[in-house]
Amino acid sequence: MAGAEHGAHAGRELLDMEVKAKAWRPPWYEHHVQPCVAELLGTALFIFVGCLAVVEDAGGAGRLQPALAHGLALGTAVAVLGDISGGHFNPAVSLGVWLVGGLNMTMLIPYWLSQLCGGVIGAGLVKAVAPSERYGNASGGAFGGITADEQVPAVLVGELVMTTFLVLVVCMGTVNGKTKTPLAPFCIGFTVTVDILAGGGVSGACMNPARAFGPALVANYWDYHWVYWVGPMVAALLVAVLVRLLMGDRSTRLLLR
Question: What domains are there in the chain, each with its CATH number?
Answer: 29-247 (1.20.1080.10)
| pLDDT the model gives residue 10 | 54
Do 221 and 140 meet the contact criterion of CB atoms below 8 Å apart?
yes
| pLDDT the model gives residue 18 | 60
CA dihedral of residues 143, 146, 152, 158 (deg, nearest 10) = -50
Per residue of the chain (257 residues), give pLDDT as tens. 445 555 455 556 666 666 555 555 668 888 889 999 999 999 999 999 999 999 988 666 678 999 999 999 999 999 999 999 999 999 999 999 999 999 999 999 999 999 999 999 999 999 999 988 889 888 888 887 777 888 999 999 999 999 999 999 999 999 999 999 999 999 999 999 999 999 998 999 999 999 999 999 999 999 999 999 999 999 999 999 999 999 999 888 888 77
Q: Residue 111 is which amino acid? A: Y
Q: Using CA atoms, how far apart are residues 174 and 179, in angstroms rounded to an integer?
A: 8
Q: Using CA atoms, how far apart are residues 46 and 183, in angstroms rounded to an integer?
A: 19
Q: What is the DSSP string of 179-211?
A: T--TTHHHHHHHHHHHHHHHHHHHH-----HHH
Q: Compute φ and ψ for 251, nearest 5 degrees.
A: -75, -15
Side-chain-facing half-sphere of 92: CA atoms under 13 Å: 32
| pLDDT the model gives residue 43 | 98
| pLDDT the model gives residue 57 | 80
Cβ count near 199 (within 10 Å)? 21
| pLDDT the model gives residue 30 | 87
Burial tier of 202 (Cβ tally within 10 Å: 0-12, 13-18, 19+): middle
